A and B are shown apart, each in its own frame.
Chain A
Amino acid sequence: MIRKLPRRSVVFVGGGLTAALAARQMKNSGIDVLVLERGGDLAGSAAATLPNQRDELRWGVHNSLVQNWANETYTLRHAVGEHALPVRRMEAFLPGEGMGGAANHWNGQTWRWAEYDPALRTRLESRYGKAAIPRDMTVQDWGIGYAEMEPYHDLFERLFGIAGQAGNIGGQIVEGGNPFEAPRTRDFPQKPLEMLESGRIFQAAAQSLGYKPFPLPAANSPRAYTNPDGAKLAPCQYCGHCERFFCEANAKASPAVLLYPMLQKQRDFEIRLHSQVTGIDYDRHAKRVTGVRFIDLQTAQEWEQPADVVVLSGFTMTNTRLLLASGIGRPYDPKSGKGVVGKNFCYQVMSSVPVFFKDRWINPFMASGASQMVVDEFNGDNFDHAGLGFFGGGYIYSNVTNGRPINSRLLPAGTPRWGSAWKQANADWYPHAFNVAVHGSNYPHRENHLDLDPTYRDAYGMPLLRMTFNFRENDHRMSEYVTNKAAGIARAMGATTVGTPQPRRGDFDARLYQTTHTTGGTIMGAEPATSVVSPHLQHWDAQNLFVVGASVYTHNAGYNPTGPLAALALRLGDDLVRYARQPRML
C-alpha cells in the first residue's frame, strides 16, 4: 500500500548530470533539494577499480553499466502503421543508471553547438528561403539564443575541466582551434590532450586539403585539475577504457567525481538511490504538479512524495515517458501534426571510412575518449547547402578512442571471418588501422516521434516508450555527402589502403551502436502551441514542473549533445532559485 512522505521543495527525477548541475546552482540558497535516482552508487565498485575495470566483455560487450533492459526497454517501429516490438537487447544507445547516470560512462566529448543552432529554423529560412525547408522537416527555434547560454557553457567547461583549443575568442579567430565555433569569452580551462598518431595523420591530411583541424574538446583531464568547487580530476591514463566504462583514475569528468560528493556535503541536498519514479501527480485543473510517486527498490515500498516543484532530469526517453504516462501535456499525433509531447525525436547519423597503414603504428589501445582531431567544415550550416538536396552535416574526425580487441579491430574488406587468414589479418592490421568517422546531425521528421506502447510494459507495470523512428531521405543524402568528404581526407593520408566508405544507409537498426544521443520528445520553444516547455524549460501546462536534458532539443546537431544540456541545466538551477523565491511563469 502506498505511503506518503513529508513534502519537499524541489524534487529531481533522475540523478544524472543535469540534476547535479542544477542543484549545484541552488547550493546555499536554502532551498531543499531531493534527487530520486533508480540506480546505486558505483564508487569503489568493480566497475570503478582496477583490475576489473579493464574488462571489455563485462562493461564493453555486456554493457553492465547500462540500463537493465530486462526492467525497461523501448519498442521500435520504423513507421506509423507498423507493429512495434520491444528491442529486447538494445545496442543502438546506452542510457545510464546510478548516481551520475550516463555521464559516468561517456567518452567525454564536449561541444558548444554552433551559434545558429538554437535558432536553426530562422537560420535556414533566411539563408535558403522558407520554401527550401521540406514540409516533413520540423525544425524549430529554441526560443533562446547562444548569447544567453554562453556564460553557462563557460561555467560548465570550468566545472568539468574541459581541455581544448579555442577557435573564436570574442570574434577573433584563433589559429589551431575551430574557426566555426560560436564565439567564446575565453579559452578552455585546460590545454588539449596529447595528440595521437592517428590525429597527426588526420591533421596533416586535413591541412593539405585546406581544412582547419583542431583537437576535440575533452572532458578527460590531461593533467591534475581542481575545479571552482575544489573538486579534483587526476591525469588521464589514455587507457582505452572510456566509453561504457567508469573511469578508475578519476580523470574523466563526471557527476560522480565532481558534483555529487560536493553536493552530498550540503545541508539542503539529498539524493535517494534505488528509487524508481513511476509517475508525476498532476492536478490538471490547477495546472500544477503536486509531487511524484516512486518505488523504493530495496524494500518494494511505494511512496508518494509531495513536492513544491518537480524537475524531470532523466534521460531523453525517461523524461518523455513520464509526461506521457502521467497525462501531462498534449501527446503528439503525427497524422494530424497536433500535440507536442513526443515530437521531434532525433538520434545521430554516423558513418566511417577505414584506413590502413602498413608502416605506421596507430596503437589504438593508447587513447582517451576524446583524444581525436576534428574538422568542422562540413557540419550543420557551416557550408552552403544550395542545390545539395539536404540540410545538416557532421564533424569529421580521426576516430580512435580505444583498441579493445573484441570489438575494435579493423580488417580490410574481403578478409575471411575465421581461420588462419583471419588471425593473420588481425595480426597484420590491429595496431595499424583506424576509422575516419562522421558524427552527423539528425534533423526532425514529422513522423519520427515517441509515444506510449499499447502492448508492452516495464518491470514496474508502466507502459514502455515506443519509438517510431527511421532515417529519412535527408539523413541518407547528408551522410553520402559528408562521408564522401571524409573519404577525401582519408585519401590524402598516404594510407596503404583506404577502405570502402560506409555512409549511413537503410533503416534504423537497433543492433548497431551509433552514440547514445537521442534527443527531443519534450521540446522547448517560445510558443505553447508548438513546444512542451518554455525557453526557461518550464512546462506550459504545469508552472511548477520543469524538464531538462536533451529531451528539450528540437533537433540533434552534428555535435555531441552534452555541452548545451549542461549549460541549460546550470541556467535552470539559477531559474529554479528565482522561481522558488517568486513562483510564476519565468
Chain B
Amino acid sequence: MSNKDNAPPARRIFLSRVGGASGAALALPALFGGLAPAPAGAQGAAAGAVAPQPASYLSLGPQEAACVEALVDAMCPADALTPGGVDCGLHVFIDRQLAGAWGRGDRLYRQGPWQPGKPQHGYQSPLTPEDHFKAGIAALRRETQKRTGKPIEQLDAARIDTLLQEVAADQWDDPRFALGAWFNDAFYPLFVQACFADPMYGGNRDKVFWRSVGFPGLPALHARNVVEFRGRAFPGAASPQSIDDFS
C-alpha cells in the first residue's frame, strides 16, 4: 500500500491489482461447451495463476472501496495459505453483491411500518442492504478518523485488525449507529462468503480458499469416493474445481 499521502484514492477507481501472474489475458468463462474443465489460461505457467480482475467497481465509490480494500487486506493477510484479501478478489465479491440483487433488497420484505426490533427479529432497517452497508462504511471511516486522526486506508493492517476487534465487541457503538452489529451481521458474513463462495462471484480467486481447507468443489460425484476414501484423505481436495471449470 504505497499511497500514504492525503491525495484522494484515485488509484482505487480501477481494480488494477492482480496477484500472482501479471497481465494474464482476460479469460471469459465459456458459456457453452461440455463438462470438461476449461483449459488453463495462456499465462498460467506460474503456480496459482489467477483470473484477471474486472475493470471497475459497480457499487462502491472510491473512498468506500479504499476502506473495503483495507479491511479485506487486514482480515485476510497474505500468508502461506492465501494471498492478501484484495488479491483473492474479496473486495470484488463484496462490490458485486452490493450492486446485485441481494444488495438491492431481493427477497427481503420491505413493507412498512418500520420499527427497531429485538435482535431475534433480524434485519429491520428500511435501507437496502447496499445502503445499510455503505452507512456502516461511512460510520467506520468517520470513527476511525476521529479516533486515530487518519483515514482507515492509511492505517497498517495490524492497527486495523485491532480496531476491528474493538468494533466487533461493540466498543465503537454510539446511540446513532451500532457499528458492532453492523460489522458482525453485515460486513463479516460478506467477508466469509467472499472467501468461500464459488469464484465466479469474484472472490475466492482461483479457488484459493477451497484449496486451503481441502474442499474439492465440483463435480461432487462421490458415490464411489464415499466408500473408497472413507476415513482417508481425498486426493481431489488438492485441486478443487468450480462452476466456471464446468461451463
**What distance in Å separates the Cβ of A450 from its nearest Cβ neighbour in chain B?**
17
Q: Chain A residues with Cβ under 8 A from B35's Cβ?
A: 50-51
Q: Does B177 contact A (CB under 8 A)?
A: no
Most chain A CB within a 10 A radius of its CB, from B118, B220, B231:
B220
Q: Chain A residues with Cβ under 8 A from B210's Cβ?
A: 405
| Contact flags B98-136 to A (C-beta < 8 A → 1, else 0) | 000010011111110101011111111000000000000
Q: Chain A residues with Cβ under 8 A from B227's Cβ?
A: 194
Q: Chain B residues with Cβ under 8 A from A196's Cβ?
A: 226, 230
Query: Contact at A361–B120, with CB atoms within 8 Å?
Result: no
- Looking at B16-24, B41-49, B50-58, B187-195, the stretch in contact with chain A turns out to be B187-195
Q: Does B218 contact A (CB under 8 A)?
A: yes
Q: Does A229 contact B (CB under 8 A)?
A: no
Complex Cα–Cα for A51 and B34 (A) = 11
Complex Cα–Cα for A456 and B121 (A) = 15
Complex Cα–Cα for A70 and B82 (A) = 38
Q: Does B26 contact A (CB under 8 A)?
A: no
Complex Cα–Cα for A332 and B55 (A) = 59
Query: Contact at B197–A56, with CB atoms within 8 Å?
Result: yes
Query: Contact at A57–B122, with CB atoms within 8 Å?
Result: no
Quick one: which of A78, A91, A195, A366 contacts B225, CB cutoff 8 A?
A366
Measured CB to CB, the nearest residue on chain B to A464 is B109
- Please report which residues of chain A, range 183-204, place their CB below 8 angstroms from some CB of chain B when the two chains form the complex: 194-197, 200
Quick one: which of B79, B214, B233 contacts A423, CB cutoff 8 A?
B79
Quick one: which of A56, A91, A431, A507 contacts B213, CB cutoff 8 A?
A431
Complex Cα–Cα for A236 and B220 (A) = 11
Query: Contact at B111–A509, with CB atoms within 8 Å?
Result: no
- Looking at A61-69, A169-177, A309-317, the stretch in contact with chain B turns out to be A61-69
Complex Cα–Cα for A196 and B223 (A) = 12
- Please report which residues of chain B, range 223-247, place their CB below 8 angstroms from some CB of chain A when the two chains form the complex: 223, 225-227, 229-234, 237, 243, 245-247
Query: Contact at B217–A420, with CB atoms within 8 Å?
Result: no
Query: Contact at B161–A406, with CB atoms within 8 Å?
Result: no
Complex Cα–Cα for A471 and B138 (A) = 38
Complex Cα–Cα for A55 and B237 (A) = 17
Query: Contact at A54–B216, with CB atoms within 8 Å?
Result: no
25 contacts between A and B (CB under 8 A): A50-B35, A50-B219, A52-B243, A55-B198, A56-B197, A62-B102, A70-B105, A76-B120, A87-B122, A88-B124, A194-B230, A236-B223, A238-B226, A361-B229, A361-B231, A366-B234, A417-B168, A418-B188, A420-B77, A424-B81, A427-B214, A431-B213, A431-B214, A455-B113, A510-B122
Query: Contact at B196–A406, with CB atoms within 8 Å?
Result: yes
Query: Contact at B222–A238, with CB atoms within 8 Å?
Result: yes
Q: Does A426 contact B (CB under 8 A)?
A: yes
**What distance in Å separates the Cβ of A360 from its nearest Cβ neighbour in chain B?**
6
Question: Given A360-B231, A363-B229, A419-B77, are A430 and B213 neighbors across the interface (CB < 8 Å)?
Answer: yes
Q: Does B76 contact A (CB under 8 A)?
A: yes
Q: Chain B residues with Cβ under 8 A from A456's Cβ?
A: 111
Query: Contact at A423–B223, with CB atoms within 8 Å?
Result: no
- Please report which residues of chain B, range 167-193, place their CB below 8 angstroms from some CB of chain A when the two chains form the complex: 168, 188, 191-193
Quick one: which of B164, B196, B233 contacts A361, CB cutoff 8 A?
B233
Question: Given A61-B193, A194-B226, A239-B221, are A418 and B75 neighbors across the interface (CB < 8 Å)?
Answer: yes
Query: Contact at A427–B212, with CB atoms within 8 Å?
Result: yes
Q: Chain A residues with Cβ under 8 A from B226's Cβ?
A: 194, 196, 238, 366-367
Measured CB to CB, the nearest residue on chain A to B81 is A423
| A interface majority secondary structure | loop
Q: Chain B residues with Cβ under 8 A from A200's Cβ?
A: 230-231
Measured CB to CB, the nearest residue on chain A to B101 is A62
Measured CB to CB, the nearest residue on chain B to A67 is B107
Question: Given A87-B121, A237-B221, are A70 and B229 neighbors across the interface (CB < 8 Å)?
Answer: no
Query: Contact at B81–A69, with CB atoms within 8 Å?
Result: no
Query: Contact at B220–A89, with CB atoms within 8 Å?
Result: no
Known: A54-B243, A237-B222, A365-B234. 14 other contacts (CB 8 A): A50-B246, A56-B197, A57-B198, A62-B102, A69-B107, A72-B109, A235-B223, A361-B231, A405-B196, A419-B161, A424-B81, A427-B212, A430-B215, A507-B118
Q: Chain A residues with Cβ under 8 A from B188's Cβ?
A: 417-418
**What distance in Å separates the Cβ of A322 from its nearest Cβ neighbour in chain B?**
19
**What distance in Å separates the Cβ of A51 from its nearest Cβ neighbour in chain B?**
4
Query: Contact at A70–B121, with CB atoms within 8 Å?
Result: no
| Contact flags A401-419 to B (C-beta < 8 A → 1, else 0) | 0010110010000000111
Q: Chain A residues with Cβ under 8 A from B106's Cβ?
A: 62, 70
Query: Contact at B231–A197, with CB atoms within 8 Å?
Result: yes
Query: Contact at A88–B123, with CB atoms within 8 Å?
Result: yes
Complex Cα–Cα for A557 and B237 (A) = 39
Q: Chain B residues with Cβ under 8 A from A90's Cβ?
A: 122
**What distance in Å separates the Cβ of A282 from its nearest Cβ neighbour in chain B?**
27
Question: Given A88-B108, A238-B226, are A509 and B119 neighbors across the interface (CB < 8 Å)?
Answer: yes
Quick one: which of B214, B217, B223, B246 contacts A238, CB cutoff 8 A?
B223
Query: Contact at B198–A365, with CB atoms within 8 Å?
Result: no
Quick one: which of B107, B191, B196 contacts A63, CB cutoff 8 A?
B107
Complex Cα–Cα for A430 and B233 (A) = 12
Complex Cα–Cα for A360 and B120 (A) = 37
